[in-house]
Amino acid sequence: MAISSSNAALSGSKKRKRIAADEAARKPKSKPKDLPVITKAVILRPAPKSKKPVEPTSDEDEEEDEDEDMESASEDDEDDEDEDDLASRQAEMLRLEEDIVSAKTATARTKGLNSLLEQLEDESEEIAIMTAVGLCRTFCRLMNRGQLVRHKEHSPEQLKMVKEAKEAYINYLNSLGGMLEGGEGTSLKLAMRVLKEESIHMKPPEGYYFPFLTYGVVIKHLLLSDSPDLVTVFATEYIYEFSDLRLEFFKAIPTVSKEVPLSNTRYSENLFNILYNLKDLPSTSEELTDLNLYISAPTKKKHPLFQIAAHQRYFQETWLAFLSRPLPSKQRDILTILPKRIIPYFPNPRLLMDYLTDTYNTGGVIALLALQGLFNLMMSHNLDYPNFFPKLYALLDRDLMHVKYRSRFFRLLELFLNSSHLPAVLVASFIKRMARLCLAAPPSAIVTVIPFTYNLMRLHPTCTFMLHRVLGKEVDSKSLLTGGYADPFNEDEVDPLKTGALESSLWELETLQSHYHPNVATLAKILSEQFTKQQYSLEDFLDHSYTSMLEAEMTKKITRDPVVEYIVPKKILSEEEKKDDDALLAPAQNMLLDLWDFE
C-alpha cells in the first residue's frame, strides 16, 4: 500500500497520521499498472506486546510494577518515534520520486536518484528495503514513459538525462545484487520486476528483447548468495517454471563462471543445487510449442527459444562450465544422475570423455559410479578406453561387496563379460576374484555372485574346469601333507590375464555350501549339480539385503512341521568320517570333537 506525503500525516496525532496515510493510499497517483508497492509489513514495526495486569501483593511489588510500566512506556515511546521517523522518511522518499519523474533537467533528476541510491546504504534494514522498493517503482515509471531509451528527436539535455538515468539504473542493479548476496528475499522480487518492465518498455519497435545483462547481474549475485533458501526460491519460482528464464540461465552461466574464481565453493554449490534438481527438460521439438514464458514470446518461429538444438547446446555448455570447477563433495551426486539426466540431453556427449576417464581413474566408489557413463560413451559414441578390463578388475575389492552401488556395478559387469569372444583366462580371473571376495561378503552379496558365476560358466565352458579340478599323479602327496596345497591364483596380480586363475579351483564356492545362512548354502549347491538351467536372471538377485532376506524367512509358509529330536545327543560332531579312497590326503583329525562334549 503506497503512503502519501500529506502534511496531516506529519503534524496530527498518531491516530490521525495513520488515518490520513490510509486515505491517501486509497487514491494513488498515476503510475504504471501492477508496480511494486510498499506494504505496512515493510515499513511498520510490530505492535508492542500488551501488558498483563498483575495484582500487587506488597509495596515492593507495586514499585516493581511501576518500574516495569515506566520501562514499557519508554519502549512504546521509542517505537512511536521510530514509526514517526520511518513515516517521515517514506514521505520524503515519495516526494523525491515525484521530483525525479517530473524533472526537466539532467541535474535535478540525477540529484534525486543519487539521493535515493545513498539511502540504500543505510544501516537500517527497513529503510534500505523501503528505498529499494521506491527506486524500483521510480525506474519502472521512467521505463513506462520511455525516459531510459534514446530517440532521434531527443535534445542534448534529454540525451544527457537518459544517459545519467541509465547509469543510476546500473548502480541500482548492483545494489540489488549486494542485497541478493546477503540473502534479502525482497530484492529478488524487485530484480525480476524491473527485468520484466525492461523487456516490455525498452525493446525495439518490432522484435524480441530479453534483458540479458540485467539477468546476468541477478544470476551472478544470487549464486554468490550465502542463503541456500533464496537460491531455492529463485530456482523453483523462476527457472523451473519459465522456459525463457531457464534458457537464458543456461546462456549466462558460461560467462558468469569465468568471472567467479574457481576457489569460490559457495558459487559452485549454489549452481549445483539448481542443476541437480532440474528435471523435465524438453527432449523433442513438439514440447516447445506451448511454453510457459516470463516475458512476451518472440514472433519469429526460428527463434532459439523454439529450437530444441539450442536448448540442448546451452544445457551442455552450462554443465561443462560447472564440471570444470572443483567440487569433490558433489562427485557422487553428479555421477549418479549423469547417465539418465545429463548425457541424453547432450548433443555431443564425447565432450564428457575427459571428465569420465579422469574420474574413473581415481578408483573406489567414484569409479564405480563413473563406470556407467563411461560404458554409454563406449557403446554409443565409440570411446576407446585403453586397459579397460584391468581397471575394471581393480574395482573388485572388499569394499565393493558392502557399498550401496553394488547392484549397479554387477549389472554393468554382466554386460561387459557377456561377450563369448572374451578369452577364458580373462573371465576366469573375474570368477575367481569374486569367489575369493565371497569369503568375507554379506549374504546379500553372495547370492548375487553365485548365479552370476553360473551364467559365466554357461557362456564360457572352458571355465568349468575350475569346478572339478583333480590333481594329477605328478603331484607329490607327501609334500601336500607337509606343506599344504598352494593355490596357483595370484590375488595380488593387477593384470587379469596373468593371475593364473584358470589353473586354480573354486574351493571358495564349495566352502559356501556350508554357509550359516541356509539360503546361501542351498544356492551354492547349484554349482555341484548338473547345469540343466540355461541361465539365471541376475535381476532376481541384485536387490537383496539383510532386511529382504529376513523378511523372506519371516513370511515363508511352512508346509510341514520341522523335525525335533527329543533325545539330546552327547556329541554334535561324529568321530566317523567318510573315507575317500581317491583322496591323496589323509583325513585330518577334528579338533572340535573334544570341545563339543556334553558329558
Helices and strands, counts by H and E, the chain: 25, 0
Give the per-residue pLDDT at 2: 38
Low-confidence winner among 3-17, 270-284, 491-505 (lowest mean pLDDT):
3-17
Low-confidence winner among 7-21, 102-116, 170-184, 249-263 (lowest mean pLDDT):
7-21
- d(CA 445, CA 549) in angstroms, rounded, equals 11
Residue 255 belongs to some domain of the structure: no
Q: How far is CA 14 from CA 3, 18, 443, 454, in A?
A: 15, 6, 78, 89
Residue 120 belongs to some domain of the structure: yes
Residue 270 belongs to some domain of the structure: no
Give the per-residue pLDDT at 5: 36
Q: How many domains does the chain have?
A: 2
Contacts of 592 (CB under 8 A, 6+ apart): 573
Assign 575 a pLDDT band (cuts: 50, 70, 90). low
The mean of the pLDDT values for the chain is 79
Q: What is the mean pLDDT of residues 534-552?
A: 84
Contacts of 220 (CB under 8 A, 6+ apart): 177, 256, 259, 260
Give the per-residue pLDDT at 285: 85
- d(CA 218, CA 463) in angstroms, rounded, equals 63
Quick check: 455 and 529 in contact, CB under 8 A? no
For 471, the domain range is 413-555
Assign 585 a pLDDT band (cuts: 50, 70, 90). low
Quick check: 36 and 97 in contact, CB under 8 A? no
Low-confidence winner among 48-57, 63-72, 432-441, 561-570 (lowest mean pLDDT):
48-57
Entry pTM = 0.71
Residue 18 belongs to some domain of the structure: yes
DSSP string computed for 249-293: HHHHHHHHHHHS-TT-HHHHHHHHHHHHT------SGGGGSS---
Contacts of 384 (CB under 8 A, 6+ apart): 378
Place of cell 556427449: 349
351-360 confidence digits (pLDDT tens): 998 899 888 8
Residue 476 belongs to some domain of the structure: yes
Give the per-residue pLDDT at 572: 59
Tell me the three state secondary structure of residue 318. Answer: helix
Phi, psi of 293 (to 5 degrees): -110, 150
Q: What is the mean pLDDT of residues 308-337?
A: 92
Of 202, 221, 250, the residue at which a domain comes to its end is 202
561-571 confidence digits (pLDDT tens): 777 666 666 66
Residue 218 belongs to some domain of the structure: no
Q: What is the mean pLDDT of residues 397-421?
A: 87
Residue 411 is classified by DSSP as: H
Give the per-residue pLDDT at 583: 52
- Percentage of the chain lying above the pLDDT 90 cut: 24
User: What's the grid cell of residue 416?
Assistant: 561387459
115-168 confidence digits (pLDDT tens): 888 887 776 788 888 888 888 988 898 888 888 888 877 788 888 888 888 898
Residue with the larger pLDDT of the pair 336 and 561: 336
Of 170, 202, 234, the residue at which a domain comes to its end is 202
Q: What is the mean pLDDT of residues 12-19?
A: 38
Low-confidence winner among 29-38, 313-322, 377-386, 470-479 (lowest mean pLDDT):
29-38
Would you say residue 39 has pLDDT above 50? no
Q: What is the mean pLDDT of residues 96-104?
A: 83
Assign 57 a pLDDT band (cuts: 50, 70, 90). very low
Residue 93 belongs to some domain of the structure: yes
- d(CA 239, CA 230) in angstroms, rounded, equals 13
Residue 230 belongs to some domain of the structure: no
Would you say residue 346 has pLDDT above 60? yes
